[in-house]
Amino acid sequence: MVRTPLTPEERERGERLGRLLRDARGGRSMTDVAAAAGISAETLRKIETGRAPTPAFFTVAALARTLGLSMDDLVTQCALLPV
């Protein structure tokens, strides 16, 4: 299966999500947050750095729960914006 390349807007949205999660993580270690969310630290690193700009819904939901973030707020803050 060939994936359609992401648009600049989609890449920017992924980077914004990564920044929001990184900021919410604060001083907690990446390993601790990833373990609490049930994902690998490598997956969290890729999301936070924008290398995985379209993470699975349940991954984002688990991270939001672990970090005390509202899914509604994430959707609002990560809405597609023209670049």
CATH of the domain at 32: 1.10.260.40
Would residue 3 count as lying in a domain? no
55-65 per-position pLDDT tens digit: 999 999 999 99
Reply yes or no on whether the pLDDT at 5 is more than 60: yes
- The pLDDT score that the predictor gives to residue 61 is 97
Reply yes or no on whether the pLDDT at 19 is more than 80: yes
- Structurally, the chain folds into a number of domains equal to 1
Reply yes or no on whether the pLDDT at 38 is more than 70: yes
Would residue 12 count as lying in a domain? yes
- The pLDDT score that the predictor gives to residue 83 is 53
In this structure, what token pair is assigned to residue 79? 């809405």
Would residue 14 count as lying in a domain? yes
Would residue 1 count as lying in a domain? no
- The pLDDT score that the predictor gives to residue 4 is 85
For residue 28, the 8-state DSSP code is S
Residues whose CB falls within 8 Å of the CB of residue 8, separated by 6 or more in sequence, listed in order: 83
Would residue 82 count as lying in a domain? no
Question: How large is the average pLDDT for residues 46-54?
Answer: 92
Residue 50, SS3 per DSSP: coil
The mean pLDDT of the chain is 92
Range of 33's domain? 8-77
